[in-house]
Chains A and B, each alone.
Chain A
């Protein structure tokens, strides 16, 4: 296995170029284009708007029916891209015999991290997400919020340059939600973070860039400043029309 320890500080660009995804007679994403840079991008849309399909295409889980997604010119289907990717799906499971620590070590191995480095990084992340005390307990005994925090730790294992979070605040209580937003804001200083949600307040204050989706199409995209007024009101107005 060839290894590299470099973390590129170069300009990062995730380019979505006229991407569509069709399932039989339903178009989930329709000719969507956007370019994401370092910082937090909030992806807003109602349930069924096509957010998850778009995120899965960005992660290489789904192949677009047409169009192309590239990271710094590299197609997202490449192994090289997956080694800089962190992904938290909306829902995920776990092998029943896995403890929290096993879960992180397993994904560290799949991300190609050497064992000793994986152990250090896992301990560090378990400590950070407040699961160090329960790291040897089976994941199936974890509460929803604990599992979500484990998922976040998993996504951060390889210090991703591209971090994709699908409804990451689902299952977190209101206090954890607020704290989570701040964590994401911190990570967004050095990585491309795409965060999908249907709750406007999740992204209103931390997102540098907003994408709004409706029926598979990009309804609106751009920067949102406090001087622009309430994002929630704008969102509701756009979606009513």
Chain B
């Protein structure tokens, strides 16, 4: 028996008897296994990367944003404090978004994803961009939806909604940089709960902290803070992605 024929026979024996593939297809595969034509990506475009990742984002991440939108629709009518209650829900949205952007680590897929043409960095950027924009769109939609019921501008309402979201994101991203954060991916959930509780207390209309901002025309401070924190979240996320190599080594 030639060495090639022997190899082929051994290859056919590679699997359990009950799992043995169709020999005809097997022969075709062996002829084709490494020598057939293949389409290779040589340059990656952003739109293709986003399209791929949209399909693989869990439903939970989309539902979390839609649930808050639904909650906003239900609790707004006849409730002048609705913005505060909705704002207290946004840390949960931030938590779900942050967890989704780093699920490669949580499920041990990071190392494999780092070696594909679309590398882990592109994957994380794509997930962050898709969910970040979706969340922002939902929060902006809520601000427009409740504008009739709150005595604030749409921008200031949006700042109220977005601040606890961004604070949670910053906390979660900082946690992600620690060994504890890497080994306890759901630790940021506790942080989100804490911020939700603090948010409601901080934003109550007659709170000594909130009054100067809203009642005396210093709302722009909150708007400015929102812009600053948004920039901080993006910077922190990019810094974390640069740490991917070290994180992969630790996770593995």
Q: Are these two chains actual partners, yes or no?
A: yes
1/0 per residue, CB under 8 A from B, across A114-130: the answer is 10010001001101111
Choose among A82, A84, A93, A178 the residue that contacts B119 (Cβ–Cβ < 8 A).
Answer: A82
**CA–CA, A2 and B56, complex, Å:** 23
Contact between chains at A129 and B11 (CB < 8 Å): no
Chain B contacts of A62 at CB under 8 A? 245, 248-249
A180 at the interface (CB under 8 A from B): yes
Chain A contacts of B30 at CB under 8 A? 186
**CA–CA, A79 and B120, complex, Å:** 12
Choose among A1, A5, A186 the residue that contacts B44 (Cβ–Cβ < 8 A).
Answer: A1
Minimum-distance CB pairs A-B, first 5: A112-B41, A93-B108, A130-B15, A130-B19, A110-B116
A97 at the interface (CB under 8 A from B): yes
B113 at the interface (CB under 8 A from A): yes
Chain B contacts of A60 at CB under 8 A? 114-115, 119
Identity of the chain B residue whose Cβ is nearest the Cβ of A129 in the assembled complex: B15
Chain A contacts of B16 at CB under 8 A? 130
- Once A130-B15, A132-B21 are accepted as A-B contacts, the answer to whether A82 and B42 lie under 8 Å apart by CB is no
- Once A1-B48, A83-B42, A159-B38 are accepted as A-B contacts, the answer to whether A183 and B245 lie under 8 Å apart by CB is no
A158 at the interface (CB under 8 A from B): yes
**CA–CA, A15 and B19, complex, Å:** 39
Interfacial residues, chain B to chain A (CB-CB below 8 A):
7, 10-11, 13-16, 19-22, 25-26, 29-30, 32-45, 48, 52, 56, 58, 103, 107-109, 111-119, 123, 245, 248-249, 252
1/0 per residue, CB under 8 A from B, across A121-159: the answer is 100110111111100000000000000010000101011
Chain A contacts of B248 at CB under 8 A? 61-62
**CA–CA, A127 and B20, complex, Å:** 8
Contact between chains at A187 and B34 (CB < 8 Å): yes
Choose among B22, B39, B41, B109 the residue that contacts A95 (Cβ–Cβ < 8 A).
Answer: B109
CB distance from B163 to the nearest CB of A (A): 32
CB distance from A90 to the nearest CB of B (A): 8
